[in-house]
Chains A and B, each alone.
Chain A
């Protein structure tokens, strides 16, 4: 499961982390637009029930762990279930760029990927989420009507079909459902 968010996504992320079914037996990767070259405690802020780690290069993706894309790098996943970092040009004015992480997950894991795109004020993530859907994965956006900044989820809905718009409550209910399904 991979989540992208930008402006206005923090309250939603905190809510998601609070309500996350436990144990949630898939790796979760969060890609959030953030400042670079400053000390950040975002990982600690989001560590509500469980410690969130910023992966280092080549770290393995493990089920039940929650990862946060480090500042000033793009975060990619490889087919052998490890992380790769990338320091190329910002994409959509962003590094980490959600599009890059989403696309690499789609390429590596195809139908197994669940991508969730939250509130934000640019169109990063739209192309990546569409790629997840086109590779057979599941794409969800935060319902633009309920997002603090509607542009990012709306951009994904405008770009391709097959993406579901959900309120935060619906997303949480959805996650609880798949977590039960996984247990069976």
Chain B
């Protein structure tokens, strides 16, 4: 394991990855990314930065393993129940007025939040009119998300979150249990499309009434946050909604004047006309 990475070595690693593989980590928040580089050297039993660079330059599979490890793929169903409650009460009734509702889940990881959203929409009677575009930069995540298989041991906590979010149905109706896994009801997946999209390098691809991008910005520096908020602004219909993570802020963003807050506590914003 490498104990420490100097700023110069860090910049060089990021550059190698960008030039060799096209993944651009230049404007990621450095503290967290650096830590994950170091953690990866422990996992891959790499003892020097020279070895790390050498393998990155020469082994394609090695990078694929690394990208899986250095991106954060952690997620929960109904994380921050108060956010889902606000969605239910303040956002969905407005979305109901559209004939077709297009929703973008950017950085959906393994899909837990996408399915949470699908459950809300189903309960509001809107799922049939929705197209949910769930994207992530990591292909392995998307395969997992698409399968809709969740470890059963987490379901107790998710059920609790669901009830806190104002859910009144029997949560176990939304999945079937097989061995140690919960499998999301295929019916909930009927209007979800999973595909690869990298917020750093890819562009606008549709127009949405709601964009959810929760706990992705925390890995970006302010320059990149500015750029991605611009991308979201351009991807929203006027008066479209943008939902961020509960501790993410538009306060430091140069586009902040183009949005108004719908729920400050739950970080739900709305594009101005």
Chain A residues within CB distance 8 Å of chain B: 37, 39, 54-59, 70, 72-74, 76-79, 84-89, 100, 103-104, 107-108
Contacts and interface: CB of A to CB of B under 8 A. Distances in A.
B225 A58 contact: yes
A85 B72 CA distance: 12
A73 B157 contact: no
Q: Mostly helix, strand, loop or mixed at chain A's interface? A: loop
Interface string B27-44: 001111011100000000
A107 B31 contact: yes
Nearest to B72: A88
Interface of B: 4, 29-32, 34-36, 72, 74, 76, 79-82, 157, 160-161, 164, 215, 217-219, 222, 225, 245, 247-249, 251-252
Given A37-B161, A86-B219, A89-B74, A57 B247 contact: yes
A87 B34 contact: no
Contact of B31 (A56, A70, A84, A89): A84
B30 A79 contact: yes
Contacts of B251: 56
Contacts of B249: 56-59
Contacts of B31: 76-79, 84, 86, 104, 107-108
Contacts of B35: 76, 86, 100, 103-104
A72 B164 CA distance: 16
B74 A85 contact: no
B247 A84 contact: no
A86 B36 CA distance: 11
Q: Mostly helix, strand, loop or mixed at chain B's interface? A: helix
Contact of A87 (B4, B74, B81, B252): B74
A33 B131 CA distance: 39
Nearest to A85: B218
Nearest to A72: B79
A86 B219 CA distance: 7
Given A57-B218, A86-B72, A104-B31, 19 more contacts: A37-B80, A37-B157, A37-B161, A39-B82, A56-B247, A56-B248, A57-B249, A72-B79, A73-B247, A76-B29, A76-B32, A76-B35, A78-B30, A79-B30, A86-B32, A87-B215, A87-B218, A87-B245, A100-B35
Contacts of A84: 29, 31-32, 218
Contacts of B76: 37
Contacts of A103: 35
A59 B161 CA distance: 28
A107 B34 contact: yes
A154 B80 CA distance: 35
Contacts of B248: 56-57, 85
9 contacts: A37-B79, A37-B81, A56-B249, A57-B247, A78-B29, A84-B29, A84-B31, A85-B215, A87-B218
Contacts of B245: 57, 85, 87
Contacts of B74: 87-89
Contacts of A57: 217-218, 245, 247-249
A56 B252 CA distance: 10
A83 to B, nearest CB: 9
Nearest to A37: B161
A1 B179 CA distance: 48
A103 B248 CA distance: 22
Contacts of A56: 247-249, 251
